[in-house]
Structure 1
């Protein structure tokens, strides 16, 4: 399968590229992204075939349906990393929380967040391609809190790759920050910036498109790629768990095969939701995809009004910081799928030049056929955390809590909903401790102990150990100095 470009093709790039080319150089013509030329049509036959399959068998077959140019032994090695999750037989448990609401837990990997689902195998694949080609790559990662730890974990000490990870200083939880700044592998560089996630992501996109930066790297015999969800190598692994979660409901006899469900996705950069959209387009029986946001609710406004309006907007710091994002990169891939490359380029240029675009009424109607949305404030989220724990015995993090409101406002209660839990409670313990016990401004280490005592839950060893590790990565800079700092690292 080949990959094409969301904003059309300029004269400097080929009309289509292979999967390996798309993940090695993820930014396409005119600043666009790569998408599959065609999506595989899975149909009922594929679902029936895998109703009793392991997660790895499902994943291997799905990747084969994309006909990606990666050797089978490399794919198997990449998927074997799921064996290191909490339960090697089922790395993504799906848990019933209340009548017709099920939570797909995506956080049972090494960094306790959903980014492990895609980044663990992605690291093996990209490093393998680089070694096979005899090339060396700089992998850029911009993080609002979860991509960074997962990218660093998967790439540490891998051959032919170095990683520069950008995060907003003060814009992540303590645990997320510690997961990054205690990494000591020599091929990793963690850079805090005085700014917000959008600043980090804008810097990443600028560097990926900068011929001058690429020339400076070339002088060091280094090529450039990215670990963010602008890279389709991330997205392809995110499609899998939506299909798995549906099959889990079939296995649990919660639904019959072919019965439609809602997929309720907490969304920041929209990669998780895009995976759901592609799974639906490939044949998964879905009623609608529900987008759950926090106070940075640009996606809610887009889906409700057709307007993507960033004029006079600034990122608001919330209790769900991984979603503190205004420019959701992967919405572009949905625009392309629905409206084609010419309209996508026009809309994205308007956003870049004017901080605004607006869909026509027909385009909005088409978007709303697939998506609905609502947003949840931090205070509302804490109420949902406490209420769900007390009434249903289920403890969730503040990102997952945003799904609870949209479950109430956007779903038909007669239809089953799969909501996605993107992080373990350990990643955002001060917010959860405040929700459960009322304690205020507790540091993570104290809040973890409080929740552990209240909920009778063990703190995982990989989280406990963070607080005694040496802080190795101490760089915090102005956003204007990012390029200079990266070149100094190299």
Structure 2
């Protein structure tokens, strides 16, 4: 299968590229993104064939269905990374918390967040391709808290790879920051940025398209790639767990094969939701994808009103920081799929130049065929955390935003899957406050919640507080490029 560009082709890039090229060099014409030319059929026939398969078998089948130019041996090697999860036989448990509500727990990997689901195998594939080609790559990542740790974890000590990771100083939890700044592999550089996540993501996108930066990299014999969900190598692995969640409901006798369900996705950069959209379009029986946001509810306005408007908006720091995003990169891939490259380029250029765009009534109707949306305040989220903690189920503040969508947006009482994108341990102060514990640090909160509720803290989390800080750099946005070049 070939991959094409969301904003059309500029005559400088190839009109279509194989998967390997799209992930090694994710910069597309006019600042666009790569998308597959088509989607494989993942409807009832595919679901029936893999109903009793384990996760790695299902993942391998989906990757093969995309006909990507990665050999079987490398695919199997990449998927072996799931053996490092809590339960290698079931890396993504699907747990019932209401009669018709199930949580797909995506956080059982090494960094305790859903980014491991994609980045663990993706890192193996990208680094192996680089080594086979005898090419050296700089992998850049901008993180709102979870992409960074997962990227550093998958690429540390890998040959032919250097990684620079940008995070907003003060915009992550203590645990998320420690997961980054304590990584001590020589091929990693972590940089705090004075600003918010949109600032760091914008800086990354500018560097990806900067010829000056690329020329500096060429002098150092380095090519440039990215680990954010602008890279389709992330997205392809994020399709898999939506199919897995559906099959789990069938295996648990919650639904019969072919019944429709709702999916509720807490969304920031929209990659997780995009994976659900592709699964639905490929044939997964999904009635609608419900998007849950926090106070930064730009996606709610986009889906409910057809307005993407940055004018006069300031990013709000919330208790669910991975969703503190106003510019959601993967919205562009939905625009392309719905309206084509010309309209996508027009809309994205309007957003860049004027800070807003509006969909036509017909375009909004098309968007709403697949999506609905709402948002929750921090206070609403804390009440949800407390309610379910009393019942013996702990969730993080991102997961908590899903419950309002579950309660208010479903038009029929269909079985529903919500996606838990991080373990509670990464946001322990919020969880502690929700259950009536005052704590000034993550460490205090972790210990207090553990004592009160009798839950264990994973070793990979508890050990963070004794590891030495390796990365202390914090810079202004304008200093990022020079800091990276000094590292290189």
TM-score by length of structure 1 reads: 0.99
Gap regions ≥5 residues in structure 2: none
SS of 1:254's equivalent in the other structure is coil
Correspondence for 1:443: 441
1:2–1:37 Cα contact (<8 Å) kept: yes
**C-alpha distance in structure 2 between counterparts of 1:9 and 1:318, whole Å:** 39
Deviations 1:114-164 (A, max 9, x none): 000000000000001101111000000000000000000000001110000
SS of 1:81's equivalent in the other structure is helix
Structure 1 runs, 4 residues or longer, greater than 4 Å off: none
Correspondence for 2:425: 426
2:42–2:279 Cα contact (<8 Å) kept: no
Correspondence for 1:126: 126
Correspondence for 2:308: 308
By how many angstroms is 1:442 displaced? 2.4
1:7–1:342 Cα contact (<8 Å) kept: yes
By how many angstroms is 1:42 displaced? 2.1
By how many angstroms is 1:43 displaced? 2.0
By how many angstroms is 1:438 displaced? 4.1
By how many angstroms is 1:9 displaced? 0.2
Deviations 1:171-229 (A, max 9, x none): 00000000000000000000000000001100111111111111110011000000000
Q: How many residues align?
A: 488
Correspondence for 1:270: 270
By how many angstroms is 1:411 displaced? 1.2
Select between 292-301 and 452-461 the one with higher mean Cα deviation.
452-461
How big is the alpha-carbon RMSD for the aligned residues of Structure 1 and Structure 2?
A: 0.7
1:435-474 pair list within 5 angstroms: 435-439=434-438, 441-474=439-472
2:43–2:285 Cα contact (<8 Å) kept: no
**C-alpha distance in structure 2 between counterparts of 1:339 and 1:12, whole Å:** 23
Deviations 1:400-420 (A, max 9, x none): 000011111101351111000
Deviations 1:420-455 (A, max 9, x none): 00000100000000001242x521001001111122
Correspondence for 1:394: 393
2:141–2:165 Cα contact (<8 Å) kept: yes
**C-alpha distance in structure 2 between counterparts of 1:176 and 1:396, whole Å:** 16
1:56-71 pair list within 5 angstroms: 56-71=56-71
**C-alpha distance in structure 2 between counterparts of 1:171 and 1:42, whole Å:** 38
2:291–2:300 Cα contact (<8 Å) kept: yes
**C-alpha distance in structure 1 between counterparts of 2:483 and 2:41, whole Å:** 45
**C-alpha distance in structure 1 between counterparts of 2:193 and 2:59, whole Å:** 36
**C-alpha distance in structure 2 between counterparts of 1:438 and 1:173, whole Å:** 17
Deviations 1:49-76 (A, max 9, x none): 1111010000001000001111111110
**C-alpha distance in structure 1 between counterparts of 2:393 and 2:324, whole Å:** 25
Task: Please state if 1:295 is matched with 2:303.
Answer: no
**C-alpha distance in structure 2 between counterparts of 1:245 and 1:331, whole Å:** 23
TM-score by length of structure 2 reads: 0.99
Correspondence for 2:414: 415
SS of 2:22's equivalent in the other structure is helix
2:437–2:445 Cα contact (<8 Å) kept: no
2:263–2:288 Cα contact (<8 Å) kept: yes
Select between 454-463 and 161-170 the one with higher mean Cα deviation.
454-463
Task: Please state if 1:335 is matched with 2:324.
Answer: no
1:100–1:413 Cα contact (<8 Å) kept: no
Select between 409-418 and 140-149 the one with higher mean Cα deviation.
409-418
**C-alpha distance in structure 1 between counterparts of 2:211 and 2:440, whole Å:** 46
**C-alpha distance in structure 1 between counterparts of 2:378 and 2:210, whole Å:** 38
1:471-482 pair list within 5 angstroms: 471-482=469-480
2:164–2:189 Cα contact (<8 Å) kept: yes
By how many angstroms is 1:102 displaced? 0.3
Task: Please state if 1:356 is matched with 2:356.
Answer: yes
Correspondence for 2:178: 178
